[in-house]
């Protein structure tokens, strides 16, 4: 098995464009167009991560590669033909919007298929032993997308597509998804809700987005009962709370499940300074959460980039994660570390957050999603 970290990316994914929005509000009436940008899901967060890696020299230590787009056969394992045909037709005719906050321009179908293909390549590189671990700089993201309804900037369910392709190729039987994007991974949850061959864990800000999903009592259905685990945290949680969640809830559940591979739905929007959430994680938080997972997987994991909307801070969070994955000596010093950590909760709030984790653990245990 190779000890390299694969980094799977493609410039064309940066060319995906959204529609006529100002932050999350459609332009029109009293909503003015924005001078620059539009949707928060913009290419610069991802492009600047790749640029930072090039400047520090980290790119030269990784196995850099692109991938072929996911095929129609790959997509049909997750999405119905009716949705894919409607998406392709609208994409070919200049773009539009099919779901909730998922506007897209011309050529979006091909770019979204490429984004899914990057995740497929990352997963298969690890399962085939061609890389120890892998990071897919996927864009557009995927964890909110339902089989027939795009949602929250997500047009195709990238991780689910990759899992189903790997399974069909006989590369794995049991998969675990740890989604630490600050928004609930409702799409991944819905796709695997009635199955026990995929463990889905979502750590998210409570009722941030979507506001009506992500509760602790949704632990799966039928055969999948007990294999869906939601960890909704109150606004203001930061470094200590997230590491506590990982240590006391996520890691024990991963050890119980013993998946062939762990896939991280890797959003960086729980970090301080993100415009779409109110959490207080730092780049170090992501590095240490990665370390916690690698400790129980012998370094074997796959990361698929999801959200994160601070153009300045996302690159440092991603770089810190890749430092840990690759074992490099290269560092990109966090320029905002002192500002984030100076606003961390005091000991009384820490105690409150620990109590929150206690409560969530007890709820999950009572519902049957967690057992110590």
pLDDT means per 10 residues, the chain with 372 residues, are 92 91 86 79 95 98 98 98 98 93 94 98 98 98 98 98 98 98 98 98 98 98 98 95 96 97 98 95 97 97 98 98 98 93 67 90 93 73
- Is 144 labeled as catalytic in the residue annotation? yes
Quickly count: other Cβ atoms within 10 Å of residue 72's Cβ. Answer: 12
Tens digit of each residue's pLDDT (9 = 90 or more) over 81-135: 999 999 999 999 999 999 888 999 999 999 999 999 999 999 999 999 999 999 9
Tens digit of each residue's pLDDT (9 = 90 or more) over 245-258: 999 999 999 999 99
| Cis geometry, peptide bond prior to residue 122 (ω within 30 degrees of 0) | no
Catalytic residue among 143, 144, 239, 305: 144
Predicted pLDDT at 370 = 81
121: nearest Cα among 184, 42, 63: 63
Predicted pLDDT at 36 = 65
> What is the pTM for the complete model shown?
0.96
Predicted pLDDT at 328 = 98
Non-local (6+) Cβ contacts of 100 within 8 A are 149, 150, 151, 152
């Amino acid at each position: 098995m190779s000890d390299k970290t694969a980094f799977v990316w493609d410039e064309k994914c940066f060319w995906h464009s959204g529609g006529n929005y100002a932050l999350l509000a459609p332009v029109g009436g009293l909503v003015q167009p924005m001078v620059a940008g539009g949707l928060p899901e913009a290419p610069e967060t991802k492009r600047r991560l790749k640029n930072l890696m090039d400047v520090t020299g980290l790119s030269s230590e990784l196995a850099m590669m692109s991938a072929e787009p996911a095929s129609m056969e790959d997509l049909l394992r997750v999405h119905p033909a009716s949705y894919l045909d409607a998406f392709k037709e609208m994409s070919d005719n200049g773009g539009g919007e099919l779901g909730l906050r998922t506007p897209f321009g011309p050529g979006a179908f091909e770019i979204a298929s490429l984004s899914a293909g990057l995740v497929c390549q990352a997963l298969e590189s690890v399962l085939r032993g061609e890389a120890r671990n892998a990071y897919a700089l996927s864009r557009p993201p995927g964890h909110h997308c339902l089989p027939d309804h795009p949602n929250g900037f997500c047009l195709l369910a990238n991780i689910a597509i990759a899992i189903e392709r790997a399974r069909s190729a006989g590369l794995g039987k049991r998969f675990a998804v740890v989604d630490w994007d600050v928004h609930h991974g409702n799409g991944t949850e819905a796709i695997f809700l009635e199955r026990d061959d995929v463990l889905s864990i979502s750590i998210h800000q409570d009722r941030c987005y979507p506001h009506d999903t992500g509760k602790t009592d949704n632990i799966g259905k039928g055969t999948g009962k007990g294999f869906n685990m939601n960890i909704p945290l109150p606004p203001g949680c930061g470094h200590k709370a997230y590491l506590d969640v990982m240590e006391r809830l996520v890691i024990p559940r991963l050890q119980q499940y013993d998946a062939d591979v762990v896939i991280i739905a890797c959003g960086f929007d729980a970090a301080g300074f993100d415009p779409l959430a109110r959490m207080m994680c730092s780049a170090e938080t992501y590095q240490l959460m990665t370390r916690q997972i690698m400790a129980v997987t012998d370094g074997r994991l796959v990361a698929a980039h999801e959200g994160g909307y601070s153009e300045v801070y996302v690159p440092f969070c991603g770089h810190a994660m890749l430092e840990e994955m690759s074992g490099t000596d290269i560092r990109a010093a966090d320029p905002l570390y002192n500002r984030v950590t100076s606003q961390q909760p005091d000991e009384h709030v820490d105690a409150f957050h620990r109590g929150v984790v206690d409560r969530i653990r007890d709820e999950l245990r009572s519902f049957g999603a967690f057992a110590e």
